Amino acid sequence: MISSLKCFFDQLISVLALFFLSPILACIAILIKMDSNGPVIFRQTRVGRYGVPFELYKFRTMFMEGDKKRQITVGDRDPRITKVGYYLRKYKLDELPQLWNIVKSDMSIVGPRPEVPQYVDLYDDRQRQVLWVRPGLTDYASLEYFEEAKLLAQSADPEKTYIEEILPAKLELNLKYLEERNFLVDLKIIFRTIFRIIGLD
C-alpha cells in the first residue's frame, strides 16, 4: 500500500513537472541540437528494481559515441562532454528526462541511483538489497557525491577510484536510506537536492 502511494505521488509530481517545465525542456533540446550532432536524448541500460534492466533517459551531454569509450566521466578534464553538456551536468539538468522514467514506473523521485549492469555485477549479497526498491532521481549518495566528476578528475585512475572507493560508499548510503525511508525522509532529500542545485546547501 505504502509503495503504491509513493509510486502514485511520484508519477503525479513528475507529470506536473514535465508539463510546467516543458518550455525549459524544449529550449534545452534546441541548444543541444545547435551545439553538436546527434540525438537530444541519450538512452542507456540501467538496472532497476529486482535487478530488471530498463532504458534510462538523459539529455545528451557528450559527443556521439562518447559513452562507448568509458563509463566514468571526469569533470572539466573530460573531452567527450559538449559545451552545452558541461552546464547541463553542472546544474543536473541532464537528468530531467528521467521524469519520464518515473511516469513509466521505472524509477521513483527518491531512491538509490540506478547503475549500469557492469557495476551491479560487482555487488555482494548485502549490497544487492538496494535493488529491492525502485531506483531514484536523487538520494543520499547524490547529495554526498554531488560533484563526483570533480573528485574523479583528481584521480590517476578514475575507474579504479569509482569501483574501490566511491561505489561502496554510495551503496552504504543507499542501504542507510532503505532503513530510514519514509515520506518525510523523501521530502527532506528532495528539498536538499533542490537547494544544492541552486547553491543554497
pLDDT digits (tens, 9 = 90+) for 77-123: 678 899 999 999 989 999 999 999 999 999 999 999 999 999 999 99
pLDDT for residue 79? 83
pLDDT band at 124 (very low <50, low <70, confident <90, very high): very high
Q: Coil, strand or helix: which one is 137? A: strand
pLDDT for residue 66? 59
pLDDT for residue 77? 65
pLDDT for residue 113? 97
Q: Is the pLDDT of residue 74 over 70?
A: no
For 51-98, give the DSSP string.
G-EEEEEEE--B-TTGGGT-S---GGG-TTB-HHHHHHHHTTGGGTTH
User: Mean per-residue pLDDT for 144-153?
Assistant: 88
Q: Is the pLDDT of residue 18 over 90?
A: yes
For 186-197, give the DSSP string.
HHHHHHHHHHHH
Query: Which cell is 3 given?
Result: 509503495
Average pLDDT, the chain: 92
Percentage of the chain modeled with pLDDT above 70: 93
Q: Is the pLDDT of residue 134 over 90?
A: yes
Q: Is the pLDDT of residue 75 over 70?
A: no
d(CA 38, CA 187): 36
